[in-house]
Structure 1
Amino acid sequence: MFKWLFKFKKQQQATHSMAKKFLIVGLGNIGADYVHTRHNIGFKVLNHLAKINALEFEIRKLGTLASHKFKGRTFLLLKPNTFMNLSGKAVKYWLEKENIPLENLLVITDDLNLPFGTLRLKTKGSAGGHNGLKDIQDKLNTAQYNRLRFGISDEFSKGRQVDYVLGAWSDEESSKLDERLQRTSEAIISFGMAGVNTTMNQFNGT
């Protein structure tokens, strides 16, 4: 009887702990050539969140990782070092290693179909031609995971999409970027503290 109660309490504690841990993945490409490109907005968001909370990233398996503890929640910030097209390997590894449930995963990525700086949080959806999202979907074997899309707009001429995505922010975009990074960081914390539905209602389209 007592052994059963002890085991049950341990299981409850483990489940409770899992519910309070979140894996926040920023997508991007490693290397100096990509640092200031639109495609690396996932890295940039996590760098901003780490900076304002005085966090340090450490080189770990398949990426760099920082941990942010806030009001009983733990946010693991992951920047995969596998390059964009192989992001799923790092996501799957850290979800399993940290025993984080899929509903506590949030992937931050760029989106050509949204105006610059506009946020859109979704709980599922297609990869939409984004190779990083496609690989995550393939490795997790599901399209039902949370993704926070950051608009980079589609201000490019025909045939110049790759150059635009892998290009640097314009001066006008750069002048507005800090405020947008702050807003995105607030959405991440809201995701962990208030839940996905409340966060969608508060931040989508802003």
Structure 2
Amino acid sequence: KSVQALATFFKIKPEEILVVHDELDFKPGVVKLKHGGGNGGHNGLKDIDRVIGKNYWRARVGIGHPGDAAKVAGYVLNKPVTDDLVEIERSLDKLLKNFDMLIAGDFANAQKVIHTS
């Protein structure tokens, strides 16, 4: 609901929104940009999809997987181990270093740079 409230107040179209979220399917340190598509079961994305649709950008930041589906909830809600945290911070730095391209709407080049560096 917060995303919808901000988008409505500032008159931001869904395709102009970038949501940064954790991604269990990627190793820590991996970051990928994606436009639209499914939510992969991510509860936060499900909520956003319900209120603004799926036509928004996502920065999927890898956090790794605990290896056991029963441990996922605790894993995502707790602080990462030090080595993983270092890699996650590096991936966020990579995203921020290319943020000017994202703000300018140059997502294709941002994807190329972020996905290959």
> Which TM class, normalised by the smaller chain length?
0.7 to 0.9
Residues 133 and 185 (structure 1 numbering): CA distance in 2 closer, same or farther, change over 3 Å?
Answer: same
Question: 5 Å matches for 1:1-206?
Answer: 89-140=1-52, 142-193=53-104, 195-204=106-115, 206=117
Structure number, greater radius of gyration: 1
Cα distance in 1 for partners of 2:88, 2:35 equals 25
Q: Deviations over 1:54-100 (max 9, x none)?
A: xxxxxxxxxxxxxxxxxxxxxxxxxxxxxxxxxxx111111111112
Q: Deviations over 1:11-43 (max 9, x none)?
A: xxxxxxxxxxxxxxxxxxxxxxxxxxxxxxxxx
Identity %: 26
SS in structure 2 of the partner of residue 147 of structure 1: strand
CA-atom RMSD in angstroms: 1.8
Residues 111 and 205 (structure 1 numbering): CA distance in 2 closer, same or farther, change over 3 Å?
Answer: farther
**Paired residues of 2:28 and 2:63 also in contact (CA < 8 A):** yes
SS in structure 2 of the partner of residue 204 of structure 1: helix
Cα distance in 2 for partners of 1:170, 1:162 equals 15
Structure richer in helix, relative to its length: 2
Cα distance in 1 for partners of 2:28, 2:11 equals 35
2:65 maps to a residue whose letter is: D
Number of residue pairs matched by the alignment: 117
**Paired residues of 1:117 and 1:151 also in contact (CA < 8 A):** yes
Residues 98 and 113 (structure 1 numbering): CA distance in 2 closer, same or farther, change over 3 Å?
Answer: same
2:38 maps to a residue whose letter is: S
Q: Deviations over 1:166-203 (max 9, x none)?
A: 12211212334443321121233321125111111111
**Paired residues of 1:107 and 1:146 also in contact (CA < 8 A):** yes
SS in structure 2 of the partner of residue 155 of structure 1: coil
**Paired residues of 1:123 and 1:146 also in contact (CA < 8 A):** yes
SS in structure 2 of the partner of residue 182 of structure 1: helix
SS in structure 1 of the partner of residue 60 of structure 2: strand
**Paired residues of 2:36 and 2:57 also in contact (CA < 8 A):** yes
Structure 1 unmatched ranges of 5 or more: 1-88
Structure 2 unmatched ranges of 5 or more: none
Structure richer in strand, relative to its length: 1
